[in-house]
Structure 1
Amino acid sequence: MAEGAPGHRPGRRAKRRRRIGAVAAFAALAAAAIVGLRLRAAMLPPVDVPILLYERVGAIAVDANSVPQTVFYRQILDLSAKGYRTVSPARLRAYAEWGVPLPAKPLVISFDNAYRNLLVDVAPILREQQFTAVVNLATTFIAETPEERRTLNGEPMMTWTEIRAAIQEGVFEFGGHTRNRVDLRTHEKPFNEIRASRSDLKRATGYRTRVFSYPFGSYTPEIAAAAREARVRFAMINGGAIAAIGPKTDFLALPRIKAAGGNHLFTTQVFERRGEGVFGYAKVVHDKGPTFAASVHVLDADAYEPLAVQDVAELKADAAVEIPLPSDLAFPVTIEIRDPTGVLLYYAATIERGGVAKGAPAGQLPLSLEGGVEIEPIE
Structure 2
Amino acid sequence: MVFPERFSDLPAATWPRLRALLDVPTQASETINMTIGEPRHAFPAFVGDILAANLSGFGKYPENYGTADLLGAIGGFLKRRYDLDVPNDCILALNGTREGLYNAAMALCREEKHGQPVILTPNPFYQVYAVAALSVGAEPVYVPATEDSGHLPDYHALPTDVLDRTAIAYACSPANPQGAVADADYWRALITLAEKHDFIIFADECYSEIYRDTPPPGALQIARAMGAHPERVVIFHSLSKRSNLPGLRSGFCAGGPQSMARLRSLRAFAGPPLPEPLQAVAAAAWADEDHVIANRALYQQKYEIADEVFGNIKGYRSPQAGFFLWLPVEDGEEAAVRLWQETGVRVLPGAYLSKDANGLNPGKHYIRVAMVAPEQEMQRGLTLIRSCLYG
Give the TM-score of the pair, scaled to structure 2: 0.26
Return the structure number with greater helix share. Answer: 2
Larger Rg: 1
Q: Which has the higher contact order (CA 8 A, sep 6+)?
A: 2
